[in-house]
């Protein structure tokens, strides 16, 4: 840094003139609770960029860091000195607001200049994605690591804890929040953190990759535990205030206690091996994709995961019924006897002592029948739906008769669990080197499942495969869900 005295002087001069210009416009000093300023929202670049000190600093940066700023319009991922200069200004404002000292020659301004020079002199950067989720916690409320994802549970009665942790990991995150941080309340809450140090030219590609890893983590947690974990919002950005990418926030639209039934995911930190194994089963599934836009199994997996987002329960029922069909019927598109075949296959593969074949058969029949009516223009009255709910094995009788919304939520939860187990069964049965029911080609599935011995063999096969991974629990009927305001059995 010793050879940057000219840059430091230019930075100090620019900050002093910019502070004066913003003070004239009554932008500064800003309150501590509005420390995160953004150009175009809190002030306009037209007040800053015409300053002589801005122009001088820009010319100096262009000359000093030609590998970053030379001929930007000829690059696929252009960088501009202006971005970093405004980033310096906003970092100075943030730190000065937090300390209450807006002196342009103070230590907080020097700290921001140090950061600017460090960022411009580095060949890599660190990017963090932080996903705030509900219905997820850890054993003993301890912070744990599973693979490259850190899970931080929210302590009881500490509702700003996770937001403060995000701010520690992504210093500029509150800028994206725009003073209106989403405040979902559907406990227990946790934060999923993932980071990557990279020299990639496009940080938005890195952000998307990290976000996809978090989504895959949630898919695995849902598949293996039947948990109702939902995403609330995701913050992403660099680990420095001054950066080549502005911090971002993506919200799910989730509100307070808008999930009617809950089954909390409780992680111990020992799940890394089984998560990796199931993820590899998904990635290595022998599914023909050459020239294919989408396969029935891919769509089913997506619809299962999307059923954990906020939306109409009727749409979730339709999507889950379609997913079950995609998993257990797939490319066999003969329409004759479809419902019967679906019910029979589900009952044959998913039945257990605590979830007998008759219950699985009847539940699929009732819930898939709803899907057919909803999709094909049928009209369903509340009275008719209540009758259906009374016949679904997991819907409490009192809810079916008196709490229509709760009964509907339990029905969706039942269909979601049947899809979950069907996905796990297909993954295990299709696994190489000796797949019993491969995704490609045709198998005499109904004939095989009609034979007592072969049906028992298939059923044992996929349960034993899960047991070999230490996930035998995932193949069974999960513990009963509870309404969202009730205490939950562990």
Judged against a pLDDT cut of 70, whether residue 293 lies above it is answered with: no
| Contact indicator for 316, 412 with CB cutoff of 8 Å | yes
Cis check for the bond before 241: say yes or no (omega within 30 of 0).
no
How many angstroms separate the first and last alpha carbons of the chain? 56
Share of the chain above pLDDT 70, in %: 96
- The pLDDT of residue 1 is 45
DSSP 117: H
Three-state secondary structure call for residue 250: strand
Judged against a pLDDT cut of 50, whether residue 84 lies above it is answered with: yes
What distance in Å separates the CA atoms of residue 220 and residue 364, rounded to the nearest whole number? Answer: 23
Choose among 326, 330, 331, 274: nearest CA to 304.
Answer: 326
- Residues 105-114: tens digit of each pLDDT: 999 999 999 9
Q: With the CA atoms of 357, 359, 363 and 366 taken in that order, what torsion angle do they form, in degrees rounded to the nearest 10? A: 100
- Mean residue pLDDT across the chain: 92
Q: Is 381 exposed, middle or buried (0-12, 13-18, 19+ CB in 10 A)?
A: exposed
- Residues 97-144: tens digit of each pLDDT: 999 999 999 999 999 999 999 999 999 999 999 999 999 999 999 999
Task: Quickly state the pLDDT bin for 490 (edges 50, 70, 90).
Answer: low
Share of the chain above pLDDT 90, in %: 78
What distance in Å separates the CA atoms of residue 134 and residue 154, rounded to the nearest whole number? Answer: 10
- The pLDDT of residue 433 is 87
The DSSP annotation for 130-164 comes to EEEEESEEEGGG--EEETTEEEEEPPTT-TTHHHH
Task: Quickly state the pLDDT bin for 183 (edges 50, 70, 90).
Answer: confident
Judged against a pLDDT cut of 80, whether residue 257 lies above it is answered with: no
Longest dimension (CA), the chain: 86
Three-state secondary structure call for residue 321: helix
- Residues 357-397: tens digit of each pLDDT: 999 999 999 999 888 888 876 678 888 889 999 999 999 98
Task: Quickly state the pLDDT bin for 85 (edges 50, 70, 90).
Answer: very high
- The pLDDT of residue 331 is 67
Judged against a pLDDT cut of 80, whether residue 336 lies above it is answered with: no
Q: From residue 226, how far is each of 221, 417, 452 by CA, in Å?
A: 8, 6, 29
Three-state secondary structure call for residue 232: strand
Contacts of 272 (CB under 8 A, 6+ apart): 146, 147
How much is the pTM? 0.94
- The pLDDT of residue 180 is 86
Cα-flanking dihedrals φ and ψ of residue 437, to 5°? Answer: -135, 85
């Amino acid at each position: 840094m010793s050879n940057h005295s000219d840059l430091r002087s230019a930075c100090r001069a620019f900050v002093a003139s910019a502070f004066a210009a913003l003070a004239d416009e009554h932008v500064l000093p800003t309150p501590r609770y509005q420390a995160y300023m953004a150009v175009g929202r809190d002030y306009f670049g037209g007040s800053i960029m015409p300053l002589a000190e801005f122009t001088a600093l820009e010319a100096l940066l262009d000359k000093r860091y030609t590998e970053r700023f030379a001929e930007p319009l000829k690059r696929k991922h252009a960088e501009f000195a202006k971005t970093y200069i405004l980033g310096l200004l906003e970092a100075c404002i943030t730190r000065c607001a937090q300390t209450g000292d807006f002196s342009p020659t103070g230590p907080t301004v020097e700290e921001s200049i140090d950061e600017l020079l460090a960022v411009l002199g580095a060949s890599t950067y660190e990017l963090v994605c932080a996903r705030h989720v509900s219905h997820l916690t850890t054993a003993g409320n301890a912070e744990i690591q599973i693979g490259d994802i850190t899970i931080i549970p929210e302590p009881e009665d500490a509702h700003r804890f996770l937001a403060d942790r995000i701010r520690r990991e992504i210093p500029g995150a509150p800028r994206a929040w725009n003073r209106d941080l989403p405040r979902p309340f559907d406990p227990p809450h946790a934060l999923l953190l993932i980071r990557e140090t990279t020299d990639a030219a496009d940080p938005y590609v890195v952000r998307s990759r990290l976000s996809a890893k978090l989504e895959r983590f949630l898919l695995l947690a849902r598949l293996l535990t039947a948990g109702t974990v939902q995403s609330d919002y995701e913050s992403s950005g660099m680990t420095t205030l001054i950066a080549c990418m502005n911090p971002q926030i993506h919200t799910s639209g989730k509100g307070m206690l808008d999930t009617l039934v809950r089954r909390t995911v409780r992680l111990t930190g020992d799940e890394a091996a089984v998560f990796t194994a199931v993820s590899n089963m998904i990635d290595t599934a022998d599914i023909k994709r050459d020239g294919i836009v989408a396969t029935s199994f891919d769509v089913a997996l997506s619809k299962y995961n999307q059923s954990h987002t906020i939306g109409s329960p009727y749409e979730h029922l339709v999507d889950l019924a379609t997913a079950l069909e995609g998993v257990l019927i797939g490319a066999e598109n003969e329409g004759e006897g479809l419902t019967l075949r679906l019910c029979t296959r589900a009952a044959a593969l998913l039945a257990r002592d605590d979830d007998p074949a008759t219950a699985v058969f009847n539940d699929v029949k009732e819930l898939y029948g709803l899907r057919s009516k909803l999709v094909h223009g049928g009209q369903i009255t509340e009275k008719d739906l209540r009758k259906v709910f009374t016949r679904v094995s997991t819907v409490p009788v009192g809810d079916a008769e008196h709490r229509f919304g709760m009964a509907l939520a339990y029905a969706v939860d039942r269909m979601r669990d049947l899809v979950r187990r069907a996905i796990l069964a297909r993954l295990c049965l299709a696994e190489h080197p000796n797949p019993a029911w491969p995704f490609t080609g045709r198998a005499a599935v109904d004939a095989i499942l009609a034979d007592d011995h072969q049906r028992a063999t298939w059923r044992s096969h996929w349960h034993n495969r899960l047991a070999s991974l230490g996930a035998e629990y995932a193949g069974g009927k999960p513990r009963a869900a509870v309404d969202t305001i009730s205490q939950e059995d562990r």
